[in-house]
Chain A
Amino acid sequence: MPLDIDRFAHVGSPLQRWDPRFKLAALGVLVVAVALIKTIPVAAAALIGAVVLVSLACLPASFVSQGVKWVSLFLLPFLLIMPLSYPGEAAFHILGLPFAWEGFRLAVLIVVKALAIVLFAYAMFGSSRFDISMIALQHLKCPKVIVQMLLFTYRYIFVFLAEMRRMDVAMSARGFVKRADRRTLRVMGDFVGTLLVRSFERTERIYKAMLSKGYQGEFHTLVVFNATSKDLVKAVLILLGAALLFGVDVAGIFNRAELGWY
């Protein structure tokens, strides 16, 4: 699973050249609109839009599909559980369980929307360097403390992943095999505890290093954004798209996928 979402952020594309502040704001609104969609045809249109955006971002399909694969794995049970558990009249029975088309339609709607949003997230965060996206969020009034902490956490995820792998290797080298038993769980507890002890010591050292470089509680950045009218035009286009999806959905041109769901 790729942890560096910005691995292809250097690839030149219309999305990459888009001022991240405008990109995140406009696509953020679009994501909210998509999350509120209640009819399948509109959701499908959103999914097509998402595919178009991701291809505009020039992200390799293999890279995006890794994320999509995970989400699909999580969503598949919905296609099974929803139709069989939907209250109301059953169209037919499978192994004695009532199958409702409404439930199936609801499940399809959920899956389509979720896929669209995941793809939008790739377009949003896959086309700018992670730290730039975060600073853009700060410009969009996301609290400074949170942005700074996100940057820190992101940085150290990679350090601890490497550390965890080393500890894992050391454990296997001494013949430890994970099993479904209590001992495994206790060993995992000790493992996490050890990881925590080490990282606490590391936080002390990081803080010392920061202090000795003059840290006084403030983080400064030299990143400046320069928006042009092009950036604005792109944002307006996306917002129009969002309004269109939302409008068509609310106007009820297509039948709602389910009853009583608002």
Chain B
Amino acid sequence: MADDVAINVEDVYFTYPDGHDVLRGVSCRLRQGEKVALIGPNGAGKSTFMSLLNGVELPSRGRVSVSGMDVKKDTLTAVRRKVGIVFQDPDDQLFCPTVFDDVAFGPLNLGLPPNEIHARVTESLALVGLTGFEARSSFHLSFGERKRLALAAVLSYQPDILVFDEPSTNMDPLNRRRLISWLQSSERTMLLCTHDLDIALDVCSRCIVLVDGVVVADGPSKEILYDRKLLEANNLELPLALMTHELLHEKLRSGEMDGEHRRIIESFLHAHRHSHGPDQHEHVHLHVHPHGHEHLHDHPHGDHVHHLEYGGHDHAPGVAEDGEAKPGAQIRYVPVSKKK
């Protein structure tokens, strides 16, 4: 097995004691540093899949390995050091009397010396912007704070691989935006199980679609998340950002409007992009796949993929490789107003 494999799942089956099959032959491989979104409708087996990754559940059949180490009874301690899971509801993970105790829980279980634990708690709290909260009780914090605290409580034992269950649910826009930039900037291997396809689009380069315990698609996010047919067949839909863009492009393309109208749509497209991308740049280039353009709108279910470039963001997922579009096909939006 290659050294850079972070997680390897081979033909895994999972059956609950009541006979309910949750996973039926799932295989996938995550490379070191890869950011992958696991999407799928409710009851697809995403949570069970996550639980297998650090041995909270063991597969009924098949094999799961983490950094080359098989997940089984005698490797659990080592595996759980490697894989940190951030669950959906912070109240399920913050079970200690104070913020400090919650963040220190993992390091304490590792048996680290006290000064190291203090250092890790301070560092993890700083990472999520909760410096100085040590003595507070987690139940007196706001939901957004608790959600961040749950992340800090996982970061404190420094796992190489982070697994998130619905990282963005119930978060207000500002907290969600901060989370996205944090996820984008982190170098860790990540698996995001989410219904929030916009966050998948923003953070993950790759996407796995799990339906009824089977992987139905696995590939680059910019292909899967743009595949309306695939998504809709599985109770999912296009990320909102793409839906809006698609809709407005259709409007622009049809050309049945005056200049004023066109300007409004263009500025909306710009502003909307701002709420979905890193916001440190002034220019936005919206490259439309030169030859796919016509097809895209006539056949929205076609094979062609709508490429978006988040200008100024070199390594952003979803960047079109053929950004050098022909002048005629390129629509260039100049910001109406600059970022505050």
Contacts and interface: CB of A to CB of B under 8 A. Distances in A.
* Real binding pair: yes
Chain A interface, DSSP helix/strand/loop, else mixed = helix
Q: Which of B51, B55, B92, B154 has the most CB of A within 10 A?
A: B92
Residue from A4, A155, A206, A209 with most neighbouring chain B CB atoms (10 Å) = A209
Interface in A200-224: 202, 205-206, 208-216, 218, 220-222
Contacts of B92: 202, 205-206, 208-209
A214 B109 contact: yes
Nearest to B89: A205
B80 interface: yes
Contacts of B139: 155, 158-159
A205 B153 contact: no
A205 B87 CA distance: 9
Contacts of A221: 101, 108
A156 B137 CA distance: 12
10 contacts: A151-B96, A155-B97, A155-B138, A159-B139, A205-B89, A209-B85, A211-B55, A211-B80, A212-B85, A220-B109
B77 interface: yes
A213 B97 contact: no
Contacts of B95: 152, 155-156, 206, 209-210
Interface string A126-160: 00011100100000000000000001101110110
A152 B138 CA distance: 13
B216 interface: no
Nearest to B80: A214
Contact of A131 (B98, B105, B109): B98
Interface in A1-48: 4, 10
Contacts of B96: 131, 151, 155
Interface of A: 4, 10, 129-131, 134, 151-152, 154-156, 158-159, 202, 205-206, 208-216, 218, 220-222
Given A205-B89, A209-B87, A222-B104, A216 B109 contact: yes
Nearest to B117: A222
Contacts of A206: 92-93, 95
B265 interface: no
Given A130-B97, A155-B139, A212 B91 contact: no
Contacts of A218: 109
B110 interface: yes
Interface residues of B, number: 36
A208 B101 contact: no
Give the 4 A-B residue pairs with the shortest CB-CB distance, closest first: A131-B97, A214-B109, A220-B108, A205-B92
The secondary structure that dominates the B interface is helix
B110 to A, nearest CB: 6
B157 interface: yes
Contacts of B81: 214
Contact of B84 (A130, A205, A212): A212
Nearest to A210: B95
B106 interface: yes
Contacts of B98: 129, 131
Nearest to A158: B139
Interface string B100-141: 010011101110001001100000000000000001011100
B264 interface: no
Nearest to A9: B135
Residue of B77, B89, B91, B138 with highest tally of chain A CB at under 10 A: B91
Nearest to B114: A222
Contacts of B109: 213-216, 218, 220
Given A202-B92, A206-B95, A213-B105, 18 more contacts: A131-B98, A155-B96, A155-B139, A158-B139, A159-B91, A206-B92, A209-B85, A209-B95, A210-B105, A211-B55, A213-B153, A214-B77, A214-B110, A215-B109, A218-B109, A220-B108, A220-B109, A221-B101
A28 to B, nearest CB: 21
Contacts of B205: none
B69 interface: no
Contacts of A205: 87, 89, 92
B56 interface: yes
B56 A131 contact: no
B221 interface: no
Given A131-B101, A206-B92, A222 B84 contact: no
B209 to A, nearest CB: 24
Nearest to B163: A212
Contacts of A4: 137
A214 B153 CA distance: 12
A215 B77 CA distance: 9
Contacts of A158: 139
B107 to A, nearest CB: 9
Contacts of B54: 212
